[in-house]
Structure 1
Amino acid sequence: MRPADETAAPVLALRGVRQRYHVGTPVETEVLHGIDLELQPHEFVALTGPSGSGKSTLLNVMGLLERPTEGQLWIDGFDTASLSEAQLTALRGRTIGFVFQYHHLLPAFTALENVLLPVLAAHGALTPADEARARALLQRVGLGEALAKRPGELSGGMQQRVALARALILQPRLILADEPTGNLDTASADAVFALLRAFNRDMGSACLIVTHDPRLAARCDRIVELVDGRIVADRRVAAPG
């Protein structure tokens, strides 16, 4: 159920979230230990921490790819524990945009076709308005002349910008970006980061970016540090991006 006052609700809220797995033995291994976290509209948050700290697991939980073992998770005002798998899939598709370190573009499809894939998956068909929105997004990320190009014809930075446009085509309330600049040179990384920042401000979405780059983290609104499955710091940045 949504809260009575939707405008007061954070885009994402976690309360006491724990995640445990059986790793080859009957004994459970706990990876996340009681995570409390909120993301508000327009907020741009960096998630940092050493390898093995649980960042990927936390991202999977926030992205509705895994149900938490324990605790509560709200997305866009919905208590996800009350939703069926089909409802979770629908909520994820219309609410969350994913940007990964590896762009995962389909090589046989053009840039425009790749951007339109989430619309086709969500609605089963495309309209002229959908195509116009995809063209406008690609124009916005500087690829207006590359609509018909396939991923193999684009540089790494250009491919990542196509992936960014694809993540934004359904105007998600929450953007989750997992090391989206990890494979890019400094100039391309700055360009992708600036685009994420601009869309975050313009759309009012909440954005969480996993990064090992302290230079990029310092340009966010908040830095949340995860160590051994626990949030050890959550601080505001004095002069965000």
Structure 2
Amino acid sequence: MSESIVELKGVRKSYGVGSAVESEVLHGIDLRLREGEFVALVGPSGSGKSTLLNLIGLLERPTSGHVAIAGRPIEGLDEAGITELRGRTIGFVFQFHHLLPAFSALENVMMPAIIERGVPDDEAERRARELLARVGLAGAERKKPGQLSGGMQQRVAIARALSLSPRLILADEPTGNLDTKSAEDVFELLLEFNRDTRAACLIVTHDPRLAARCQRKIEIVDGRIVDGVSFGPTSADEYAMRGSPR
């Protein structure tokens, strides 16, 4: 059985805690993602998808309930521990790629390693060049984001997310601003890295075609998981051996 990368038990999230306008957004979420899984998270606007992604990405803490990432419960971690776990374990890909416009593609991909180590080094540059080549951008290392198309910028963002070899990739509408061809290319890249690295991948998408190509689909409505459909094999190991569905 594959190792659990994400484990949520009875997770609730409220805003305005203790005030007269306290609002609970997530209501007792139970969720598990295993190594190598490729999972779609779907649901209407306002359903709690972004809040759930923020909790899994350790950008917010739950109001109550248990959260463990890569086997480490977060309840006893201080902010420095949360930051370390997030930086070493999780790679983020967003709808808006958030590249630094003053830096080259190479420098953007190196940035997580620079932040972690304090200075750029040869290993960070080697890894960044390797990743840019894998996403089809060999030769574009010195170009700045403004010199790249939207699809190319998202490829840089994927390379950056993978620079520290995360065990979990969180992708929030990564194809939402792209044309059909670019969206397909980006989705294929995520599938490829999922197969090659066995990193778990949770992708938020409104595109039913992309959701149907994932191993599982988790639907959230009004802060509750209402459905968890499996499209493929029953285990992440079987899925990895078979490759991505077509």
Q: What is the TM-score normalised by the length of structure 2?
A: 0.93
1:207 to 201, 211, 224: 201
Runs of 4+ in 1 over 4 A off after TM superposition: none
The one-letter code sitting in structure 1 at the alignment partner of 2:93 is: V
Q: Aligned ranges for residues 170-181 of structure 1 at < 5 Å?
A: 170-181=164-175
Residue 19 of structure 1 aligns to a residue in which SS? strand
Shift of 1:27: 3.2
Cα pair 2:114 2:124 within 8 Å, conserved: no
| 2:165 maps to 1:168 | no
Shift of 1:240: 3.3
Cα pair 2:2 2:35 within 8 Å, conserved: no
Shift of 1:8: 5.7
2:222 to 224, 228, 231: 228
RMSD between aligned residues:
1.5
- Unmatched 5+ stretches in structure 1: 1-6
In the alignment, the residues of structure 1 paired with residue 105 and residue 63 of structure 2 have an alpha-carbon distance, to the nearest angstrom, of 38
The one-letter code sitting in structure 2 at the alignment partner of 1:78 is: R
- Unmatched 5+ stretches in structure 2: 233-243
| 2:95 maps to 1:101 | yes
CA deviations 1:37-64 (Å, max 9, x no partner) are 0111110000000000000000010000
State the partner residue of 2:130: 136
The one-letter code sitting in structure 2 at the alignment partner of 1:55 is: K
1:240 to 237, 241, 245: 245
State the partner residue of 1:145: 139
Distance of aligned partners of 1:52 and 1:23 in 2 relative to their CA distance in 1, 3 Å threshold: farther
Cα pair 2:3 2:35 within 8 Å, conserved: no
In the alignment, the residues of structure 2 paired with residue 102 and residue 185 of structure 1 have an alpha-carbon distance, to the nearest angstrom, of 14
In the alignment, the residues of structure 1 paired with residue 9 and residue 186 of structure 2 have an alpha-carbon distance, to the nearest angstrom, of 31
The one-letter code sitting in structure 2 at the alignment partner of 1:100 is: F
Residue 81 of structure 1 aligns to a residue in which SS? coil
CA deviations 1:154-175 (Å, max 9, x no partner) are 0000000000000000000100
In the alignment, the residues of structure 2 paired with residue 132 and residue 123 of structure 1 have an alpha-carbon distance, to the nearest angstrom, of 15
| 2:67 maps to 1:73 | yes
1:122 to 106, 116, 119: 116
State the partner residue of 1:16: 10
In the alignment, the residues of structure 2 paired with residue 31 and residue 240 of structure 1 have an alpha-carbon distance, to the nearest angstrom, of 33
State the partner residue of 1:4: none
2:211 to 210, 217, 228: 217
Q: What is the TM-score normalised by the length of structure 1?
A: 0.95
Residue 133 of structure 1 aligns to a residue in which SS? helix
Aligned length: 235
CA deviations 1:198-231 (Å, max 9, x no partner) are 0011111100000000000000000000000000
Shift of 1:125: 1.8
